[in-house]
Amino acid sequence: MTDFFQDLKPLQFDPNGGDLCFRHYNPDEMLMGKRMEDHLRFAVAYWHSFAWPGGDPFGGQTFERPWFGETMELARLKADVAFEMFEILNVPFFCWHDADIRPEGSTFAEGRRNFEEIVEYIQSKMESSETRLLWGTANMFSHRRFMAGAATNPDPDVFAWCAATVKLCIDATHKLGGQNYVLWGGREGYETLLNTDLKRERQQAGRFLQMVVEYKHKIGFDGAILVEPKPQEPSKHQYDYDVATVYGFLKEFGLEDEVKMNIEQGHAILAGHSFEHELALASSLGIFGSIDMNRNDYQSGWDTDQFPNNVPEVALAYYEVLKAGGFSTGGTNFDAKLRRQSLDPVDLIAGHAGAMDICARGFKAAVQMLEDGTLESMRADRYSGWNSPEAQQMLGGDLVSAAERVEAEGIDPVPRSGRQEILENIVNRFV
Ligand code: XLS
Ligand code: NI
Ligand code: NI
């Protein structure tokens, strides 16, 4: 045991408990025939919780963690503390980037050895832990070698480095029993079109993703490959802009049956959408995978990665997740940072515990909305005209036959209320 969390004990479900307990998240509560834990599949993000120093665009490190530094001993200490936190939170999953868990090393080979050694260490920790790996990913955006992109870099040596890195990270994800592998392309975009061959860069990104899928099949990794869309930041423009853009990209490269989406709440907002829009669209396209449940501050307009704290928003998101059939390999990852003044170990616990409670409340509301059925029956009723044989035949016909019906049948459409206020009032009964 480290002494980082001192005497903090694993949190219990207690609706009337004190500050450090779950008031709503009850892992064993049965909802729609399944335990709440198995519905929500919470994950801690290693990077923001254990590797992020607390900087913002105007200032650097505020957190002083005993494991900060680039040695293997400190990397092991970091893993020890991480697994202690997983136990305190009783969280079923975690996620990492290569850069979060190992010292960089001065050559690729040294970095690889560091990584492989720490992956072994994490594997040994997982043997005595309930917490499993939701996904692994590669950080191909922080180091200066990636400043002009990763797989989309004008320099083929960077492409090679990326290939070597992703191969290593998929191997490690496979070894640790990870359920997904994520690609988020923070630098896969551009700063200015004046120096960018957009066509070439998209081709490189497409070929890279095909290579990732080919490798997954080659080694028999049966987890899902997920792309995480984000419109901009750090790049001015990113190719994985939003779900619709990524779907077009997947179709172009023949990957629409191989790759699914990891959708982040804050990224949806940055793209000018709602979270539930991105979820509903991914679901309708058959590419819904997993979620990063962290929000942005609506005033600051950048990716502040805060823990969720808005039950109605979360409820509408889980409503879409449930309509998509719930998670299979995916889960609810908190890709969330503490605020930089939240210096204490207890802040890390409170941030996650509060987020888990918010999600539990939102999820329960979503279940009730679905079980109540009014929203879905009103939606079905709105489209009920399409159930008639004439309407269905029209879709199989052409413009001419549709046009002929108008006069032959004396068609004169009668506008109907969309009932938005009534629907919003219904949602309000549950949240
Ligand atoms: C950044 C992304 C990142 C991915 C993993 O905005 O959300 O944290 O989830 O690389
Ligand atoms: Ni993000
Ligand atoms: Ni994310």
pLDDT, one tens digit per residue, over 183-196 is 999 999 999 999 99
Record: fold of 30-372: TIM Barrel (3.20.20)
Contact 100 CB / ligand 1 (< 6 Å): no
Contact 180 CB / ligand 1 (< 6 Å): no
Phi, psi values for residue 93, rounded to 5°: -140, 160
Question: Which residues contact residue 416 at a Cβ distance below 8 angstroms, ignoring those fewer than 6 apart?
Answer: 382
Say what the pLDDT of residue 19 is.
Answer: 87
- Contact at 8 Å (CB) between 288 and 281? no
Q: Once rounded to an integer, what is the mean pLDDT over residues 92-114?
A: 98
Band (61; pLDDT cuts 50, 70, 90): very high
Cα(327)–Cα(330) distance, rounded to whole angstroms? 5
Q: Whose CA is nearest to atom 10 of ligand 1?
A: 184
Q: Once rounded to an integer, what is the mean pLDDT over residues 219-240?
A: 97
Q: Which atom of ligand 1 is nearest to the CA of 230?
A: 6
First to last CA, the chain: 41
Band (267; pLDDT cuts 50, 70, 90): very high
Mean pLDDT of the chain: 97
Contact 230 CB / ligand 1 (< 6 Å): yes
Q: Flag whether pLDDT at 301 surpasses 80.
A: no
> Contacts by 211-216 with C-beta closer than 8 Å and gap 24+?
211/163, 212/166, 212/170, 212/181, 212/183, 213/255, 213/258, 213/259, 215/166, 215/167, 215/170, 216/170, 216/181
CA of residue 135 to ligand 2 center, whole Å: 15
Contact 201 CB / ligand 1 (< 6 Å): no
Cα(125)–Cα(122) distance, rounded to whole angstroms? 5
CA of residue 405 to ligand 2 center, whole Å: 51
Name residues with Cβ closer than 5 Å to ligand 3, which is an ion.
264, 292, 335
What is the tens place of the pLDDT at every residue in 106-143?
A: 999 999 999 999 999 999 999 999 999 999 999 999 99
- % the chain with pLDDT above 90: 98
Domain residue ranges in the chain: 30-372, 388-430
Q: Whose CA is nearest to atom 4 of ligand 1?
A: 184
Q: Whose CA is nearest to atom 5 of ligand 1?
A: 184
What is the tens place of the pLDDT at every residue in 314-347?
A: 999 999 999 999 999 999 999 999 999 999 999 9
Band (248; pLDDT cuts 50, 70, 90): very high
217 is catalytic: no
The pTM of this model reads 0.97
Residue 297 or 176, more confident: 176
What is the tens place of the pLDDT at every residue in 12-24?
A: 999 999 889 999 9
- Contact at 8 Å (CB) between 90 and 11? yes
97 is catalytic: yes
- % the chain with pLDDT above 70: 100
Catalytic residue among 24, 39, 97, 267: 97
Contact 137 CB / ligand 1 (< 6 Å): yes
Q: Once rounded to an integer, what is the mean pLDDT over residues 264-271?
A: 96
Contact 48 CB / ligand 1 (< 6 Å): no
CA of residue 366 to ligand 1 center, whole Å: 26
Amino acid at 146: F
Helix (H) or strand (E) segment spanning residue 160: helix 156-175
Q: Identify the CA nearest to 374 among candidates 425, 431, 322.
A: 425
> Parallel, antiparallel, or unpaired for β 288-292 and 259-264?
parallel
